[in-house]
Amino acid sequence: MGYYEPRWSAEEQTMIDMMKLNNWMVGADIKKEYTSVAIWHVDKGHFGFKADTEYEAIRKAFNYWTKHNA
């Protein structure tokens, strides 16, 4: 199964918006088998998070971002 555009829930979109407001980029690669979410910042690097569902992947990314950057 190929890539498709994510349809984020309100909670997921809020997490993404908070990261973007702090100059982080967020990208998702959604497959049938898994979802991979990447976050990156010009000065801080690139980080990837993989999970079975979109929610789990974005939650992993957001938890990492919160712990290290918020």
Per-residue pLDDT reduced to its tens digit, 3-53 = 556 678 999 999 999 999 999 999 999 888 999 999 999 999 999 999 999
pTM for the model stands at 0.85
Number of domains the chain contains? 1
Q: Which of 31, 22, 27 is nearest to 58 (CA)?
A: 27
Q: Compute φ and ψ for 6, nearest 5 degrees.
A: -70, 150
Residue 67, pLDDT > 80, answer yes
25 contacts: CB under 8 Å, gap ≥ 6:
39, 40, 41
Q: What mean pLDDT is predicted for residues 42-67?
A: 95
Whether 62 is covered by a domain: the verdict is yes
Read off the amino acid at residue 15.
M
Instruction: Give the dihedral of Cα atoms 56, 53, 11, 37; nearest 10 deg.
Output: 70
Whether 5 is covered by a domain: the verdict is no
What pLDDT, on a 0 to 100 scale, did the predictor assign at position 1? 45
What CATH number should be reported for the domain holding residue 21? 3.30.160
How far apart are the C-alpha atoms of 53 and 24, rounded to whole Å? 22
Domain that holds residue 49: 10-69
